[in-house]
Amino acid sequence: MSKTIKIFSVWLLLLSFAGQVAAYATQFADSSETLRLHWNTRLIPIAFSTSLIKPNPYIKPDSDITGAVERSLETWEKAANIKFQVSWTDKQSISPTGKSGDGISLVTVAQTTENILLFGDDANVVSARTRVFFNRKGSITEADIVLNPYEQFSTDGLFGTFDFEATLTHEIGHLLGLEHSSISGATMHGQQGKNGVYNLSSFSSRTLAEDDISGIRALYGANSAEEKCCGAISGKLLQATGRPAKEFQVWAEGAESGRVAAGVLTNADGTFRIEGLLAGQYRLYAQDAGRDATKSFSVEELGEVSLGKGKTAVIFKKLKSETKDFDVRYVGFNGQISELAVPINGGKSYLIYVGGKNLDSGKVSIGFNSPYLTVTPKSLINHNYGADVSVISFEVNVAAEIPLGEYSFFIKSKGANTEFAVGSLTVETFINQWNSYRLLTDE
């Protein structure tokens, strides 16, 4: 079996959530994107259908569904000033499309006509979907979640199934008003893998990335336990031509840790705003998020920001807009490449793959902003995955004391242009046992 076929087999495993990838982003009530969707109450009612706990073919028997529901809601409650009011109901079907629903925000997995309609033609590529109802003022009045009854869910990492808790946590982000994030490794990232991608359990999205936390705090503020919340960074970017830098990914990382704090995409006029950040020291970057490799620009550092609580830092910048001679599209692990972040653990080393265009181990180097990550010298090698994609791999060494969260690596060409794989390494508590010993000498 050729390597090319291997890639396509990964794509089959790689099922996406609904919608488009758009940064840590909020949903809007209007096309001009001024009315941000959010609940007008801090106590949000949510009803779980008994279809989730009655024996059914869509959920692996003996799964800990009630435990996963509790943990998933708590995960969001800890991050922001919201509480859920939970009930269980025999109701099976969500409200049909229309101006308003029945007022009950339902989570269901029942295979009813109304629920299946929500998936349209995507019934075999999407794990779950959320329909949000809102009024003219942008207040969410109801949000219904359907877990795709053509898929199977579990809570024990069974390969070939979706993780129930990870899926639910992502969909509750939509229920609360969040859109997809462009930060790999964020719970609100638009791609979710089934258990088995990279030969690992897909538990990453059970826990929130700092990016998810910033996003939800932008909508609801932090709960009272968090004293350093919140500040914002806003600004405007222009290309060298003077045109607005539209759809550029702008992200902030902890100046000391190098951990990704939050990222957004710039608007059509080049403006951006990152809210919900803890007071502290951040480094800011901008990178062309365009999918067309031939038109994309090298990353640029926007500077360092000292952010006070309740303050907004402002950055205006004209970018140099240097074009790149390569493109990073995928990361990978265990020989597979995809758009999913790779889960890693502190105190271990891992072989990380990168896929894209014009990637050649002889012409590029790998680096990190985080002092907790280093690359093993001379570990960079080429792989043959066929003509459509160039793939290289390197070994990353992760310091034992690295804080949990999302980290980036960058690829720099000899021509000095650089691209970041933003947040594509996610330090998790669940074990990635596939650490490498091969390149370590004195074990």
- The residues binding Zn ion (CB under 5 A) are 17
- Please, what sign has the CA dihedral across residues 112, 69, 208, 314? positive
C-beta of 17 vs 385, nearer to Zn ion: 17
C-beta of 340 vs 402, nearer to Zn ion: 340
Sheet holding 128-134, edge to edge: 83-89, 43-49, 106-108, 140-147, 128-134
Q: At closest approach, how far in Å is the CB of 173 from Zn ion?
A: 7
C-beta of 130 vs 426, nearer to Zn ion: 130
C-beta of 27 vs 379, nearer to Zn ion: 27
Q: At closest approach, how far in Å is the CB of 18 from Zn ion?
A: 5
Q: At closest approach, how far in Å is the CB of 22 from Zn ion?
A: 10
- DSSP summary character for residue 390: E
Would residue 77 be called left, alpha or beta, if left means φ above 0 and alpha means ψ between -120 and 50 degrees? alpha
Length reported for the chain: 443
Q: At closest approach, how far in Å is the CB of 60 from Zn ion?
A: 22
Q: Assess contact for 429 and 402: CB atoms under 8 A.
A: no
DSSP string, 168-215: HHHHHHHHTTEE-BSSTT-TTBSB-PPTTGGGS---GGGS--HHHHHH
C-beta of 173 vs 235, nearer to Zn ion: 173
Tokens of 142: 């109801």
Q: At closest approach, how far in Å is the CB of 170 from Zn ion?
A: 6
C-beta of 17 vs 410, nearer to Zn ion: 17
Q: At closest approach, how far in Å is the CB of 117 from Zn ion?
A: 18
Half-sphere exposure in the Cβ direction for 165 (13 Å, CA): 25
**Residues forming a β-bridge with 249:** 265, 287
User: What's the rounded Cα separation, in Å, for the pair 355 and 390?
Assistant: 6
Q: At closest approach, how far in Å is the CB of 108 from Zn ion?
A: 17
C-beta of 187 vs 432, nearer to Zn ion: 187
For 270, counting Cβ atoms within 10 Å of its Cβ (0-12 exposed, 13-18 middle, 19+ buried), the class is buried
Q: Assess contact for 186 and 209: CB atoms under 8 A.
A: yes
Closest CA to 400 of 353, 441, 344: 344
User: What's the rounded Cα separation, in Å, for the pair 141 and 125?
Assistant: 28
Torsion of CA 145, 101, 132, 217, to 10 degrees: -100
C-beta of 341 vs 373, nearer to Zn ion: 341
C-beta of 17 vs 84, nearer to Zn ion: 17
